[in-house]
């Protein structure tokens, strides 16, 4: 007679075979089967971002496969952990999903380029959940509309940012081959912080070296605040002033110069307001 632990392990193995498209004996059914593909996509998504949420994963799977996240948890490929806010804070998921050891092993079976992955969900920064939930939602939504062909997360962006050049939150890959540096902005910047943001964005749109290609072809500012969108649009208008700053002898910041946003920036900035 099986113990409860053995019975639970047996159920988990059975659920895993169904989710990953395996039949008894470990024989894998056709890779064209949609369910298998969506399960692997979901696990790969969590691997690349570090964590995700049920709403994002189910959105990726499409309306025909709602509940995929729950099935992956049941199969013990994902772990569900309640967040500190428990869903009380707008934009913060009630639960986050991370890979289990088995889930990580499943992903790494099919990846050539491995990334560092933290299995302990309690080491994920709670103060950044809203930021990356919006980043994931915007990316998943843009992918589903086929406006982009792929993306890179922060862990996958191998380029060194350099002085005054901010590493973007995500890079979106357009069908044209162009690269979009995505900046998620949830709180308004003012004064020196806003000036530095403008400078770092403009530098990111310039070539690494004379005559070369730009680091990024476009920058997209993603926010859930109409006020932030309006302020940033005005700040990036050609001719808008921004300051250059440096520390004085007493290590205090001082504005040393005023510059203007160049005309060429107008066609290189994009805006995405997410209100749902």
Distance between CA atoms of 50 and 118, rounded to whole angstroms?
7
Distance between CA atoms of 62 and 236, rounded to whole angstroms?
36
Contact 73, 80 (CB under 8 A): yes
Q: Which fold has domain 1-124?
A: Arc Repressor Mutant, subunit A (1.10.10)
Residue 162 DSSP code: -
Distance between CA atoms of 11 and 74, rounded to whole angstroms?
9
Distances (CA, A) of 121 to 33, 42, 49, 81: 31, 17, 13, 7
Per-residue pLDDT of the chain (276 residues; tens, 9 = 90+): 556 666 666 656 655 554 554 444 445 555 346 777 889 999 999 999 999 999 999 888 775 457 899 999 999 999 999 999 988 898 999 999 999 999 999 999 989 999 999 999 999 999 999 999 999 999 999 999 999 999 999 989 865 555 556 789 999 999 999 999 999 999 989 999 999 999 999 999 998 888 888 999 999 999 999 999 999 999 999 999 999 999 999 899 999 999 999 999 999 999 999 987
pTM: 0.83
The CATH 1.10.10 portion of the chain extends over: 1-124
């Amino acid at each position: 007679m099986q113990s409860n632990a053995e019975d639970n392990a047996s159920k988990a193995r059975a659920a895993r075979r169904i989710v990953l498209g395996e039949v008894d004996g470990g024989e894998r059914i056709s890779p064209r089967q949609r369910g298998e593909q969506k399960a692997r996509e979901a696990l790969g998504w969590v691997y690349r971002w570090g964590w995700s949420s049920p709403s994002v994963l189910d959105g990726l799977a499409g309306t025909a496969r709602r509940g995929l996240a729950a099935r992956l948890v049941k199969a013990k490929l994902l772990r569900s952990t309640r967040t500190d806010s428990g869903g009380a804070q707008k934009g913060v998921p009630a639960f986050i999903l991370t890979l289990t050891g088995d889930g990580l092993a499943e992903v790494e079976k099919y990846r050539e380029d491995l990334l560092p992955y933290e299995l302990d969900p309690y080491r994920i920064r709670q103060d950044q959940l809203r930021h990356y939930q919006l980043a994931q939602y915007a990316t998943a939504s843009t992918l589903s509309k086929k406006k982009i062909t792929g993306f890179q997360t922060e862990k996958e962006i191998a380029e060194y940012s350099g002085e005054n050049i901010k590493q973007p939150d995500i890079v979106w890959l357009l069908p044209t081959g162009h690269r979009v540096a995505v900046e998620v902005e949830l709180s308004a910047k003012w004064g020196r912080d806003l000036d530095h943001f403008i400078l770092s964005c403009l530098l990111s749109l310039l070539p690494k070296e004379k005559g070369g290609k730009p680091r990024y072809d476009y920058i997209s500012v993603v926010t859930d605040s109409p006020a932030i969108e309006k302020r940033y649009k005005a700040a990036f208008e050609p001719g808008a002033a921004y300051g250059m700053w440096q520390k004085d002898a007493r290590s205090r910041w001082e504005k040393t110069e005023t510059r203007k946003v160049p005309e060429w920036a107008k066609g290189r900035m994009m805006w995405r307001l997410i209100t749902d």
